[in-house]
Amino acid sequence: MSSHTIALIPGDGVGPEVIAEAKKVLEAVGRVAGIRWEWREFPFGAQHFLDTGAAASDAELDEVAKTEAILFGAVGDSRVPERETQAGCILKMRFRFDQYANLRPCKLYPGVDGPLRDREPRDIDFLVVRENSEDFYIGLGDHFKGDRYLGKLSLKRRLYSADLDMRIEVNPPQEMAFQVGAMTARGAERVARYAFELARKKGLRRVTAVDKANVLTEIYDPWRSSVSKVALDYPEIELEFVLVDALAMFFVRRPEWYQVVLAPNLFGDVLSDLGAGLIGGMGMAPGGNINPEGGPSLFEPIHGSAPDIRGKGIANPVAAILAGKMMLEELGEGMAAQLVDRAVADVLASRQVRTPDLGGHASTSQMGDAIATRVLALGNR
């Protein structure tokens, strides 16, 4: 019997609905695989911000740090500016726990009708590894109207041991906005090593690294050199570089080619959502914000809070359930993770229980019930 302590953060919108189903499936797999769960629930999100002035406080994150992993629903509510819930909760946890690798599996399951009608499920099964802490997501930028110039601006957080200062002056004064990206060799190297180690662990033979080095040369030349350096330690794995605009086309034209896709933060964000479209939509797409060196990693459905369907009981919980499967893998519970994956595949292949986004009429809880029941049936064979 193994035991794991998990931070449970249902969040806003449909987050509590889908996380309840993920928890249901994890409890089922725990019964058959001998796993005991200790859940520590945290109220992070919009209502918590309205009540306390913080979507997630530092003291509360100190308590999250005592857990092994985080199962997260979604944040976002029209009553609170998005920057307060995103930056104050999910992004705050990414930086606090140094979750520098974002992993998004893109797998088309049997019984799910993706938009590429000529592709079999086996043709779309790849992993997007997104660098999660640098690039254009570092929070350095400004917007001014032309009645002033921007003087010295300090980076809002340190990049490891360096501070970044810059000065912009516009003459004649006019409205202007800018956003700055930054890339360190260490940041690129460590996420590249995670991607190659992942490929090796899963027996894959190709890593496709993405950038826009033909235009954004200053930021992505170091990216290329750092990834190439890491690749030398994995001679059995092929490395190819592809420009992001070309890869967007190739995802549609030949998705079967890709195994592990390694991308900087911005491009990884965009491409992984395109990958979600290939596998049946956001309701099928899980994600993990991972610190491979230890500390709690965070697992979530990537669909957001979906406030338009909150409380209707029609949200697809499969992405949250598959996020639970990813969490099992990270916790070293490989056989349990395979059991969840098989149960999801069986339920989807049967086409008997499907939420509206997949063309059916099942509720969120009915889909969760079906997968949990299948887990128990498989585990008791």
- Is it the case that residue 172 has pLDDT exceeding 70? no
Give residues with Cβ within 8 angstroms of 25, minimum separation 6. 321, 324, 340, 343, 368, 371, 372, 375
Q: Check whether 369 has a pLDDT greater than 90.
A: yes
Q: Is the pLDDT of residue 215 over 50?
A: yes
- The whole-number pLDDT of residue 171 equals 63
Cα(287)–Cα(55) distance, integer angstroms: 21
pLDDT score of 177:
74
pLDDT attached to residue 178: 72
pLDDT value for 82: 79
Greatest alpha-carbon pair distance for the chain in Å reads 76
154 has a pLDDT exceeding 60:
no
pLDDT at 242 > cutoff 80? yes
3-state secondary structure of 1: coil
φ, ψ for residue 26, nearest 5 deg:
-65, -35
Is the predicted pLDDT of residue 276 greater than 60, yes or no?
yes
pLDDT higher than threshold 60 for residue 232:
yes
Please indicate whether residue 298 or residue 164 has the higher confidence score (pLDDT): 298
The per-residue pLDDT for 76 is 87
152 touches 176 (CB < 8 A):
no
Question: pTM for the complete prediction?
Answer: 0.91
Phi (first) and psi of residue 68, to 5 degrees: -90, -30
Q: Contact at 8 Å (CB) between 320 and 22?
A: yes
Task: Measure the CA–CA gap between 247 and 267, rounded to whole angstroms.
Answer: 10
Parallel/antiparallel/unpaired status of strands 35-41 and 286-290: unpaired
**1-103+285-381: what fold?**
Isopropylmalate Dehydrogenase (3.40.718)
Alpha carbon distance 167, 197 (integer Å): 40
Here the tokens at position 174 are: 């006019």
CB 17 within 8 A of CB 47: no
Task: Give the pLDDT of residue 201.
Answer: 96
The region of weakest confidence among 2-16, 78-92, 331-345 is 78-92
pLDDT band at 219, cuts 50/70/90? Answer: confident
Q: d(Cα 210, Cα 238) in Å, to the nearest integer?
A: 14
Q: What does the pLDDT average to over 45-68?
A: 93
Strand 286-290, strand 260-263: pairing: unpaired
pLDDT band of 150, cuts 50, 70, 90 = very low
Q: What is d(CA 130, CA 272) in angstroms, rounded to the nearest whole number?
A: 8
Tokens, residue 134: 């640098």
Share of the chain above pLDDT 70, in %: 91
Of 95-99, 166-170, 182-186, 323-327, minimum mean pLDDT range: 166-170
Percent of the residues in the chain that have a pLDDT greater than 90, as a whole number: 74
Give residue 197's pLDDT: 98
Give the least confident one: 190-204, 226-240, 292-306: 292-306
* pLDDT of res. 241: 98
Q: Where are the domains of the chain?
A: 1-103+285-381
User: Which residues are the active-site residues?
Assistant: 137, 212, 245, 269, 273
pLDDT at 1 over 50: yes
pLDDT at 160 over 60: no
Report the pLDDT value the prediction gives residue 155, as an integer from 0 to 100: 42
Regarding beta strands 165-168 and 150-154, do their DSSP bridges make them parallel or antiparallel, or are they unpaired? antiparallel
Calculate the CA dihedral of residues 375, 376, 378, 381 and round it to 10 degrees: 170
- Rounded to an integer, the average pLDDT of 219-223 is 91
Ramachandran area for residue 359 (φ above 0: left; ψ -120 to 50: alpha; else beta): left
Question: Is residue 304 scored above 50 in pLDDT?
Answer: yes
All residues at 6 or more sequence positions from 332 whose CB lies less than 8 Å from its CB, including other chains: none
**CA–CA separation, 61 and 42 (whole Å):** 9
Mean pLDDT over the full length of the chain: 90
In which element (H, E) is residue 139 found?
A: strand 135-144
Mean pLDDT of 15-38: 97
Is residue 76 within 8 Å of residue 307, measured between CB atoms? yes
Distance (Å, rounded) from C-alpha 75 to C-alpha 306?
9
Q: Which residues contact 235 (CB under 8 A, 6 or more apart)?
A: none
**CA–CA dist 13, 311 (Å, integer):** 8
143: Cβ contacts below 8 Å, ≥ 6 apart: 175, 176, 177, 178
Beta bridge pairs of residue 127: 105, 260
Beta strands (DSSP E) in 49-155 are 69-74, 101-107, 125-131, 135-144, 150-154
Look at residue 322 in the predicted model and tell me its pLDDT.
Answer: 98
Residue 295 pLDDT grade (very low, low, confident, very high; cuts 50, 70, 90): confident
Q: Answer yes or no: is pLDDT of 85 > 90.
A: no
Name residue 194's amino acid.
Y
Q: Which pLDDT does position 181 carry in this prediction?
A: 80
Contact (Cβ atoms closer than 8 angstroms) between residue 189 and residue 176 = no
Mean pLDDT, residues 289-304 taken together:
94
